[in-house]
């Protein structure tokens, strides 16, 4: 499945900022409690973006680890590298296209992660096999992605504003089904964890910012919605009106992120 998707630095960082400001729970802490990293671990983060998970591992392990982050986006990698300067380039950031064989040897890493990225792979089993190949025997992969009930409010508001059905999203429509099944086929065991984080908005503005940061590049995934450039702003106005109406009626908007964390062992 070819997915025409390109994350921009500003959209990704905007969504991370809104999760931090309006969410009640910390996903990094949830993840660190599950994965139980050990000092000295050799770690690879696939689809590392601006390095969120790499820096979280570095801080948790107080720098005592060998951490590599790989991503296809030059823009996000340069953001990660500029942050990396603050810790004397302690993390290695490399170009990695997970649709191609990884330029990394077999049986190398103790731990690997792939957060909110696997569902953009063209051939999911191929990418999971590559992640499996570079792990040491007994090594673990932690993958995160949206469950089917993720951010229902976001889709409800868009559905009400447009009167159109929501197209199947590459993540939430497949993560708990096809992608989990593929991990189960390739790894010897997979444990499923679920993280729920309600984001509470008392005004429409941050919800609209979040919507823009989700839809601006993703527009190409919503082909039935946006046929020309002007349509985007028109639809955003309708979304804003529905969000404002709901806040007036209910006092707030609560959008719950529902994330699956699949911990697989080689
Ligand atoms: C939603 S972002 C998540 C980034 C990061 N893991 C985080 O949680 O902040 C998805 C990431 O997948 C990356 N990605 C998409 N296609 C890729 C590919 N073919 N190879 C490697 N990374 C890819 C994007 O560049 C982006 O950094």
CATH superfamily, with its number, for domain 9-265: Vaccinia Virus protein VP39 (3.40.50.150)
Q: Average pLDDT of 189-213?
A: 96
Is residue 203 classed as helix, strand or coil in its secondary structure?
A: coil
User: What is the atom index within ligand 1 of the atom nearest the CA of 48?
Assistant: 6
Q: Whose CA is nearest to atom 17 of ligand 1?
A: 72
> Considering only CA atoms, which of 209, 224, 217, 196 is closest in space to residue 154?
209
- Chain mean position to CA 99: 17
| pLDDT, position 218 | 63
Q: Whose CA is nearest to atom 8 of ligand 1?
A: 115
| pLDDT, position 171 | 85
Angstrom distance (rounded) from CA 56 to CA 80: 12
> Considering only CA atoms, which of 131, 105, 173, 160 is closest in space to residue 47?
131
- Lookup: tokens for 84: 């990396």
Inter-residue contact 246 to 157 (CB < 8 Å):
yes
pTM of the full predicted structure?
0.91
Angstrom distance (rounded) from CA 169 to CA 94: 28
Tens of pLDDT, residues 209-239: 999 888 876 666 676 677 666 788 888 899 9
Does the Cβ of 120 fall within 6 Å of ligand 1? yes
Chain-wide mean pLDDT for the chain?
Answer: 93
């Amino acid at each position: 499945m070819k997915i025409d998707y390109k994350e921009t630095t500003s959209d990704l960082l905007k969504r991370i900022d809104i999760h931090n400001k309006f969410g009640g729970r910390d996903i990094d802490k949830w993840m660190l409690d599950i994965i139980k990293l050990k000092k000295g671990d050799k770690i690879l983060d696939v689809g590392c973006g601006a390095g969120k998970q790499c820096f979280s591992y570095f801080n948790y392990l107080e720098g005592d680890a060998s951490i590599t982050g790989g991503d296809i986006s030059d823009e996000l990698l340069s953001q990660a590298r500029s942050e990396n300067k603050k810790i004397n380039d302690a993390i290695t950031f490399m170009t990695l296209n997970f649709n191609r064989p990884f330029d990394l040897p077999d049986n190398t890493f103790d731990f690997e992660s792939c957060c909110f990225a696997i569902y953009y792979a063209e051939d999911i089993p191929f990418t999971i096999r590559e992640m499996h190949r570079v792990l040491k025997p007994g090594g673990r992969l932690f993958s995160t992605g949206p469950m089917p009930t993720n951010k229902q409010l976001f889709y409800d508001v868009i559905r009400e504003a447009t009167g159109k059905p929501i197209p199947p999203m590459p993540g939430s429509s497949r993560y708990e089904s096809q992608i989990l099944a593929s991990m189960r086929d390739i790894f010897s065991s997979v444990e499923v964890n679920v993280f729920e984080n309600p984001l509470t908005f008392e005004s429409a503005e941050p919800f609209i910012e979040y919507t823009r940061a989700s839809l601006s590049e993703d527009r190409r995934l919503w082909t039935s919605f946006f046929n020309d450039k002007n349509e985007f702003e028109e639809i955003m106005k309708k979304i804003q009106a529905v969000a404002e109406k709901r806040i007036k009626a209910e006092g707030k908007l609560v959008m719950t992120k529902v994330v699956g964390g699949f911990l697989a062992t080689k």
